[in-house]
Chains A and B, each alone.
Chain A
Amino acid sequence: MTDETSEENTQEAQPHVRPTTSTITLANRWDHFLARWGVNRSGHRVEPGLYALGNPIADSPVFVTANYTLSFDALRSALPGIAGYILVLNTYGINVWCAAGKGTFGTDELVRRVEATVLHEVVNHRLLILPQLGAPGVAAHEVKKRSGFNVEYGPVRAADLPEYLKTRRATPEMRQVRFTLRDRLVLIPVELVHVLWPMLIAAIALFLIVGPLATAGAVVAVLAGVVLFPILLPWLPTRQFSTKGFILGSAAALPFTLTAFLSEPGTALWLRVGWALAYLLGLPPVTAFLALNFTGSTPFTSKSGVKREMFAYIPVMAWTFGIGTVLTIAFTLFRLLG
Chain B
Amino acid sequence: MASESVSATHASVGSANASACARTSMVSTSVNTLEYNPELCINCGMCSIVCPHAVFAPDGHVAQLVRPEACMECGACQRNCPTGAITVDSGVGCAAAMIYAALRGKKEPICGPESESESEPEPESDDCCTPGCCCS
Contact = CB atoms under 8 A, between A and B. Distances in A.
Chain A CB within 10 Å — which of B49, B50, B82, B135 has the most? B135
Nearest to B130: A296
B54 interface: yes
A172 B53 CA distance: 10
Nearest to B46: A140
Given A92-B125, A137-B113, A156-B52, A36 B95 contact: no
Interface in A100-142: 100-104, 106, 108-109, 132-133, 135-141
A21 to B, nearest CB: 25
A300 interface: yes
Interface in A15-63: 36, 41-42
Contact of A98 (B71, B99, B128): B128
A103 B118 CA distance: 10
B94 interface: yes
| Chain B contact patch, size range | 35 or more
Main secondary structure of the interface of A (DSSP, over half): helix
B74 A41 contact: no
Contacts of B118: 108
Given A296-B97, A304-B33, A305-B93, A41 B50 contact: no
A190 B136 contact: yes
A83 B121 CA distance: 32
A191 B114 CA distance: 26
Interface stretch (B6-14, B18-26, B84-92): B84-92
B51 interface: yes
Contacts of A139: 79-80
Interface residues of A, number: 58
B97 to A, nearest CB: 6
Contact of B113 (A136, A190, A300, A304): A136
Interface in B100-133: 110-114, 118, 121, 123-126, 128-133
A153 B49 contact: yes
A303 B89 contact: yes
A335 interface: no
A293 B112 contact: no
Given A136-B90, A293-B131, A310-B98, A102 B110 contact: yes
Contacts of A95: 135-136
Contact of B131 (A93, A194, A300): A194
B40 interface: no
19 contacts: A36-B136, A98-B133, A98-B135, A102-B114, A103-B121, A132-B50, A132-B76, A136-B75, A136-B79, A176-B53, A293-B131, A295-B93, A295-B95, A296-B95, A299-B134, A300-B70, A305-B73, A306-B95, A310-B95
Q: What are the nearest 10 A-B pairs in CB distance?
A: A296-B94, A42-B125, A301-B93, A135-B76, A303-B91, A135-B50, A194-B131, A293-B132, A302-B73, A177-B52
Interface of B: 31-33, 46, 49-54, 70-76, 79-80, 82, 89-99, 110-114, 118, 121, 123-126, 128-136
